[in-house]
Chain A
Amino acid sequence: MSSGGSLSTMQRLVEQLKLEAAVERIKVSQAAAELQQYCMQNACKDALLVGVPAGSNPFREPRSCTLL
């Protein structure tokens, strides 16, 4: 929003900033640890990370016929 906005725009901006300032936050160290934990827990299911058993990849090279 341009800083030359009307009075009501500025009032809304101030209210919005008050709301955002009041958000409850956790430390980055804790947030980062949890992001990492999620990755580790789900890595084994991530086909783009660990691959899938050969033959079960639906996008393997097309063969001469496809089963419906």
Chain B
Amino acid sequence: MDQTFLAIVFGPCDKCSKNKPLRPVSVKSEQRSYCSLCVEMMATEGLHENETLASLKSEAESLKGKLEEERAKLHDVELHQVAERVEALGQFVMKTRRTLKGHGNKVLCMDWCKDKRRIVSSSQDGKVIVWDSFTTNKEHAVTMPCTWVMACAYAPSGCAIACGGLDNKCSVYPLTFEKNENMAAKKKSVAMHTNYLSACSFTNSDMQILTASGDGTCALWDVESGQLLQSFHGHGADVLCLDLAPSETGNTFVSGGCDKKAMVWDMRSGQCVQSFETHDSDINSVRYYPSGDAFASGSDDATCRLYDLRADREVAIYSKESIIFGASSVDFSLSGRLLFAGYNDYTINVWDVLKGSRVSILFGHENRVSTLRVSPDGTAFCSGSWDHTLRVSAGRLI
């Protein structure tokens, strides 16, 4: 709606019909003459009643309340109550089977190759190393142009790795077995964010990469062209982690951030389909339950939580009064019965997912555990730490 003040005419107002000084006014591209009172009323009527900031805020509040109400209606029982009849787990014996030494500074991230044997890890010192965890040999190494390489991932084919951090990018390096391999020369910059890269993951193929960033967004990229395929906006602060849904359950992924929210996204539309805000601090790690129907989170609030996607709510909290340091990294065992969580107090706690109790506490690292992943076939798990090492551990109930 346009207001012009070129000529003031006296006459009957086109709206109220009263004789008053009139202003020419453009309404839906038609010229009208309104008195000043009607001009003012038009200005406020131009906004629909529910579009003023204050009324939108109260609508948002009431929708949040409704959301909580709807979720609460279906909260008929706790997970651990349903699991009461399940046999309790016995004593766990876990042992470190391999220690991978070679990083010159804090290990920040690691990922398993699908061959269940190779591991890629990245460090604060800018180095990215590919290890054979059976022999502990280093197979490849590259030095990034930045420090704090916070994210790394193995390609599904096993023929490439991706990594990034303070350079705000995610780069892909093909792995070759040439005698004098020069990894840095084959580097391909794929993702560009406006702040640090916190997490990255290939999708089902080597062709696409999903990234999370300190700029508050996630993004999906085509590796070959570097083209942005989809971006995901909604977090109110840095996004710290992401995990892709198991391929059988479709095209979604979950992300966690400094806004204490975990958000589930539709990869095709870029839409957030569900969000959860029950943690009291940053969410450092998110991981899908193996069936894809739930996901776990680890947070600086010293708890891990389980969210069921079909019940659309938090269904378990894994915490103890004695655990006061943040959980940095979580992953499930193959059946989903165990949740392994690495903490900033240098320990790894193993939780009974169904009963909510801790079944084991693992010592060994000499500084914060920063990253933890169970191997693809579930025979072992690898933890990386600020103590510069990675440890591959296995064990079982006795």
Q: Are B397 and A28 in contact (CB-based, < 8 A)?
A: no
Residue of B nearest to A29 (CB): B77
Residue of A nearest to B353 (CB): A39
Residue B275 at the chain A interface, CB threshold 8 Å? yes
> Roughly how many angstroms separate A35 CA and B289 CA in the complex, as a whole number?
9
> Roughly how many angstroms separate A27 CA and B337 CA in the complex, as a whole number?
21
Instruction: Please encode chain B, from 318 to 362, with 1 for each CB lying within 8 Å of some chain A CB and 0 for all others.
Output: 000000000000000111111000000000000001100000000
Using Cβ atoms and an 8 Å threshold, which residues of chain B touch A50?
Answer: 396-397
Q: Are A58 and B79 in contact (CB-based, < 8 A)?
A: no
What's the nearest-Cβ distance from chain B to residue A25, in Å?
A: 5
A and B contact pairs by CB, cutoff 8 A, 14 listed: A10-B53, A10-B56, A19-B271, A21-B70, A25-B74, A34-B310, A35-B294, A38-B290, A42-B336, A47-B380, A48-B338, A58-B379, A59-B134, A59-B394
> Roughly how many angstroms separate A49 CA and B354 CA in the complex, as a whole number?
14
Binds A, one of B15-23, B61-69, B151-159, B194-202: B61-69
Instruction: Please encode chain A, from 1 to 28, with 1 for each CB lying within 8 Å of some chain B CB and 0 for all others.
Output: 1110001001101101111110101111
Q: Are B293 and A49 in contact (CB-based, < 8 A)?
A: no
Total cross-chain contacts (CB, 8 A): 182
Give the residues from 25 to 68 in chain A that come closer than 8 angstroms, CB to CB, to chain B: 25-36, 38-43, 45-52, 57-61, 66
Give the residues from 286 to 307 in chain B that come closer than 8 angstroms, CB to CB, to chain A: 289-291, 293-294
> Roughly how many angstroms separate A58 CA and B377 CA in the complex, as a whole number?
11
> Chain A binding site: helix, strand, loop or mixed by DSSP?
helix
Using Cβ atoms and an 8 Å threshold, which residues of chain A touch B293?
Answer: 31, 34-35, 38
The one of A16, A19, A39, A59 that contacts B335, using a Cβ cutoff of 8 Å: A39
Q: Are B82 and A49 in contact (CB-based, < 8 A)?
A: no
The one of A7, A14, A29 that contacts B60, using a Cβ cutoff of 8 Å: A14
What's the nearest-Cβ distance from chain A to residue B291, in Å?
A: 5
Q: Are A48 and B86 in contact (CB-based, < 8 A)?
A: no
Q: Are A29 and B76 in contact (CB-based, < 8 A)?
A: yes
For the complex of A and B, list the 7 residue pairs with the smallest distance between their C-beta atoms, beginning with the closest: A51-B396, A42-B335, A17-B63, A46-B335, A59-B97, A32-B82, A31-B311
Q: Are B74 and A27 in contact (CB-based, < 8 A)?
A: yes
Q: Are B335 and A32 in contact (CB-based, < 8 A)?
A: no
> Roughly how many angstroms separate A17 CA and B274 CA in the complex, as a whole number?
9
Residue B117 at the chain A interface, CB threshold 8 Å? yes
Residue of A nearest to B69 (CB): A21
Using Cβ atoms and an 8 Å threshold, which residues of chain A touch B79?
Answer: 28, 32, 35
The one of B66, B336, B396 that contacts A39, using a Cβ cutoff of 8 Å: B336
